[in-house]
Amino acid sequence: MLYIICYIRTFNKIKNGVLYLKMLQKYKIDVYDRFLFAWSKSLLLDIEDFDLYLRVFAKMQSDGTFSNEFSSPGIIFHVVNSGTGIIEYEGSKVESGPGTMFIFWPDNKVKYYDSRNSPWDYTWFWLGGKSTQKILSLIGLTPDKRVYDISKCPGFLHTVDSVSECFENNEFSLFYPMTAAWMLVNALTNELSDKDNLVKINNIVEASMIFIENTQLSSVSVETLAEHFKINRSTIFRLFKNALDISPKEYIDKFRFEKACQLLSNKKLKIKEISDSCGYESQCYFSTAFQKRFAMTPSQWRQKQ
């Protein structure tokens, strides 16, 4: 039995969609194209504007007859829970079993199939976004390597389970595709960055900017940046001042205000919704901070647009 939970605008818009539909027919996959993120209804969000987001999250359980050969439409991760199989690419054959993760990269031709005696059970997800490959390269994930040992990465495996549970229980917000994508990348960074699999992040400021721009702003602070990149507050302060001539807090505040102005242009959004989206504790605090910076309230700024 195979089942896929798709969190995308329309399942039929997936590149190579015909291939996926054929798989649905062959393996009787249950598809839940729920529009849970309201991409198709929202006048606010265009997912292609984001640097990183979770385009598809799915689970697969085979009966031992699974086999697929295709050119990958994107960056797709597979986390094997049980069973064994083979991945063929560029003349190589690699076995993948429990505790392994394999990644397909855009336009890579691959063939993969499981063992009849030990069918695959795996979770897979597709990371989308205009900066996905750049972000992954910052933590050492590149097309040069396809298969990783994650048997000693309990935090990452727990994050995969947590994201799966959140989706299945419908317990998430409109911005969860971005949050979940960063949770997965963050877990990989924390557990693989000190191993041979990945390299250390060299450009902390650039990586921090990407992190800030794609993380739920209510949880972004200098402390979270320091924790995420495993450095102290004074170091991250010095790096920002040297590179941008502003502190990390000033950069976070600047980004919040820029996002607020962008959202205020959409007059269908309430001020409270914009305040929450930009990570402010309350609408009152947001209005006070906005007026202090721009010498006018958010409502007055909107009226002048």
- The residue extents of the domains of the chain are 3-198, 203-305
Say if residue 272's pLDDT is above 60: yes
Cβ atoms of residues 240 and 248 within 8 Å:
yes
**Residue by residue, what is the 3-state secondary structure of the chain?**
CCEEEECCCCHHHCCCHHHHHHHHHHHCCEEEECCCCCCCCCCCCCHHHCCCEEEEEEEEECCCCCEEEEECCCEEEEEEEECCEEEEECCEEEEECCCEEEEECCCCEEEEEECCCCCCEEEEEEEECCCHHHHHHHCCCCCCCCEEECCCCHHHHHHHHHHHHHHHCCCCCCCHHHHHHHHHHHHHHHHHCCCCCCCCCCCHHHHHHHHHHHCCHHHCCHHHHHHHHCCCHHHHHHHHHHHHCCCHHHHHHHHHHHHHHHHHCCCCCCHHHHHHHCCCCCHHHHHHHHHHHHCCCHHHHHHHC
CA 169 to chain centroid, in Å, comes to 19
Residues 6+ apart with CB under 8 A from 278: 217, 256, 257, 259, 260, 263, 286
Determine the Cα–Cα distance for residues 47 and 177; give it in Å rounded to an integer.
Answer: 9
pLDDT tier at 242, thresholds 50, 70, 90: confident
Q: What is the percent of the chain where pLDDT is above 70?
A: 80
C-alpha closest to that of 52 among 146, 153, 125, 149: 125
Burial of 61 (0-12, 13-18, 19+ CB in 10 A): middle
Instruction: Tell me phi and psi for residue 32, to 5 degrees.
Output: -120, 85
Whether residue 83 has pLDDT greater than 90? yes
| pTM value surpassing 0.85 | no
| Average pLDDT value over all residues in the chain | 78
pLDDT class of 131 with cuts at 50, 70, 90: confident
Tokens read off for 172: 């998430």
Average pLDDT over residues 156-162: 93
Instruction: Report the C-alpha gap between 246 and 225 in whole angstroms.
Output: 15
CATH superfamily of 203-305: Homeodomain-like (1.10.10.60)
Return the closest-CA partner of residue 7 out of 170, 217, 135.
Answer: 170
| pLDDT exceeds cutoff 50 at 62 | yes
Single-letter residue type at 9: R
Q: What is the pLDDT of residue 107?
A: 86
Please write the tens of the pLDDT for every residue from 255-270: 999 999 989 988 888 9
Return the CATH architecture of domain 3-198.
Sandwich (2.60)
Per-residue pLDDT, 143: 85
* Contact assessment for residue 194 and residue 139, using Cβ atoms and an 8 Å cutoff: no
